[in-house]
Amino acid sequence: MKSIETLKIELYADGADKEGIVELYEKPYIKGLTTNPTLMRKAGISNYEEFAKDILKIVIDKPISFEVFTDDLIDMERQALKLASFGENVYVKIPITNSKGISCVSLIDNLAKRGVKLNVTAVMTIKQVKAVAAVLNPETPSIISIFAGRIADCGTDPVPMMTEAAQILGGNKSAKLLWASVREVINIYHAEGAGAKIVTVPHDILAKAIKMIGSDLEKISIETVKMFATDAIAAGYKL
C-alpha cells in the first residue's frame, strides 16, 4: 500500500516557518530541508544570519540549504563561503544566473573546486543542466534543483526534461537531481518516476500527502458527496 514511508525518493521539506521546520525535521521520512529568501520574507524573518544559525542549533544531522541573495558574483562567493562555514550539513544555494541574467556557472566552478556543498537552484533548461554538470566537483556532494513546477506552469511537461537531466548527471555519484516547486501530491511520484533523487515539498502539500497518500478512493468519493450535501443543507438551498 502506498504511504509517505514507502517512497524511494528523498523528501525535503521546503519552508521557513521555524515551528514547521522543527516538527518536520523530527520526522524520519524527511531527509533534508531547504529554504529561500522569498519563503523567509513571507515567514517574517528579518535577520538572515540569526535565523540560519538558530535553525542550525536544531537541524544538526540532516542537510539544509540556505541561499545567497546578492547580484554581484564576487559578493555572492563571499556569502556562499560564510553560509558554508555555519555547519557541515549546510548546502549553499547558488542560482544558475543572477537577476540580470548573468551566468553563475563560473562561480559554481570556483565554489565546487573549494569543496563547498552546493545546491544549484532555479535551473529550467537542459542547457543549464549540462553547464552545471561540467563544473561540479565529483568529490563533493551537490544538488541540482530543477524548478519542475514552474516549467509545468509554462505549459511544458517537466518529466522528459527531468529524465534527461538524470541521465546527464548519472556519471556523478555525488550529485543529486532535485525536483523543485511541487504543486500537488502527484508531483512527488512524477519526480520519483523521472529519476530525481530528491523532491522538495512545501509544508502545506506535505501535510496533504501525509494525510491522503494511499487513501481509499471510494471512501474519498463518499466523503466528497457528504461535503456537498452538508454544505447544501447549511446554505438552505431549495429547488
What does the alpha-carbon distance between residue 87 and residue 59 come to, in Å, rounded to a whole number? 10
What does the alpha-carbon distance between residue 16 and residue 34 come to, in Å, rounded to a whole number? 8
Residue 85: closest CA among 46, 116, 124, 54:
116
What does the alpha-carbon distance between residue 192 and residue 184 come to, in Å, rounded to a whole number? 14
**What does pTM read for this prediction?**
0.93
The gap from C-alpha 85 to its chain's centroid, in whole angstroms, comes to 22
Element (H, E) at 30: strand 30-34
Active-site annotation, residues: 93
> Per-residue confidence of the chain (239 residues) as pLDDT tens digits?
788 889 999 999 999 999 999 999 999 999 999 999 999 999 999 999 999 999 999 999 999 999 999 999 999 999 999 999 999 999 999 999 999 999 999 999 999 999 999 999 999 999 999 999 999 999 999 999 999 999 999 999 999 999 999 999 999 999 999 999 999 999 999 999 999 999 999 989 999 999 999 999 999 999 999 999 999 999 999 99
The gap from C-alpha 91 to its chain's centroid, in whole angstroms, comes to 12
Helices (H), the chain: 18-25, 37-42, 48-56, 73-84, 105-113, 126-133, 148-153, 158-168, 186-194, 203-212, 217-235
In the structure grid, which three cell numbers stand for residue 84, read together?
Answer: 558554508
Residue 107: closest CA among 141, 78, 139, 148:
78
Fold of 4-214: TIM Barrel (3.20.20)
